[in-house]
Amino acid sequence: MTDTVSAEQEHREAELVERVARSFDNCADPRLKQLMTSLVHHLHAFVRDVRLTEREWSKAIEFLTSAGHITDDKHQEFILLSDVLGISMQTIAINNEAYGNATEATVFGPFFVEDSPEIPVGGDISAGASGEPCWVEGTVSDSKGQPVAGARIEVWEADADGLYDVQHDDGRTAARGHLFTDAEGRYSFWGITPTPYPIPHDGPVGKMLEAVGRSPMRASHLHFMVSAPGQRTLVTHIFVQGDQLLGADTVFGVKPSLVKEFERQLPGSPTPDGRAMDGAWSRVAFDIVLAPAGT
């Protein structure tokens, strides 16, 4: 609260906040009541703190309206807004509490697709996506160090042009798939070496980033979602060590524990599965530890 308002003005503003908060007194659902009351307190605190002008509020309404207009079943501008304000990552942090050495979670993003193709361990998710091949391998274990056999691993990534398959308009399915860990909890697959790409920035969120001098770029990453009975489902990515954007990921998704060395391999160097490879490729190891369900 600014210290320049009179006592009468302060009284009027504070009285309104309390009156609005009290309007939820009869809400039968205690959690909904808590959420609405707290939201009102925080929103009013913001409006009063910055002494919001009517013109600014009207601009904000215009912004939200255009976010609504650009949103459809393929484009979710409100999730993008939540992402670039760090709200997605904060919610993830609160809901995936640290548990022993369990792998950290990060932002889900808008490009996961149900019913991705199944590949065998050692298979290839690329399906013709542009990019340098990358061998990904690791294990899935529980927090006691026991291998988790049959864990479902969903993986998805952008191609070297910075686009997910669903952003191409030809209906392709590429650079995504799922596989299951073997009896020793091991997995491996061929994907493509991640490269940086911008989040969709053709809408109001992109305009806001431009207005505040922020880049829409995400650090290079490969998405994972790992699930197994009795374990907390993990949604995460791995990031590329040395990527210039690690400190500037526009959705604040980078965590040091998720930054991995993607070792570049010279053209012609032998591959783990004997596949003939003309050009350069890379390899990365990612061992995943799941927290127990309900933690």
**Which residues of the shown chain bind ligand BEZ in the complex (CB under 6 A)?**
80, 83, 107, 109-111, 199, 218, 251
- Of the candidates 77, 60, 65, the one whose C-alpha atom is nearest the C-alpha of residue 216 is 77
Which of ligand BEZ, Fe ion, none does 110 bind, CB closer than 5 to 8 A by kind?
A: ligand BEZ
Between 40 and 222, whose beta carbon lies closer to Fe ion? Answer: 222
Query: What is the edge-to-edge ordering of all strands in the sheet holding 234-240?
Result: 176-180, 152-156, 221-227, 234-240, 259-260
Q: Is 253 in the site for Fe ion (CB under 5 A)?
A: no
User: CA 19 to CA 42: how far, in whole Å?
Assistant: 14
Are residues 232 and 295 in contact, defined by beta-carbon separation less than 8 angstroms? Answer: yes
**Min CB(88)–ligand BEZ separation in Å:** 7
Which of Fe ion, ligand BEZ, none does 105 bind, CB closer than 5 to 8 A by kind?
A: none
**Min CB(107)–ligand BEZ separation in Å:** 5
**Min CB(250)–Fe ion separation in Å:** 11
Structural tokens at position 68: 């609504």
Length of the chain: 295
Between 109 and 185, whose beta carbon lies closer to Fe ion? Answer: 109
Contacts to Fe ion from residues 86-115, by CB under 5 A: 109
Which of ligand BEZ, Fe ion, none does 286 bind, CB closer than 5 to 8 A by kind?
A: none
User: CA 156 to CA 178: how far, in whole Å?
Assistant: 9
User: CA 235 to CA 224: how far, in whole Å?
Assistant: 6
Between 89 and 148, whose beta carbon lies closer to Fe ion? Answer: 89
Which residues form the interface with Fe ion (CB under 5 A)? 109
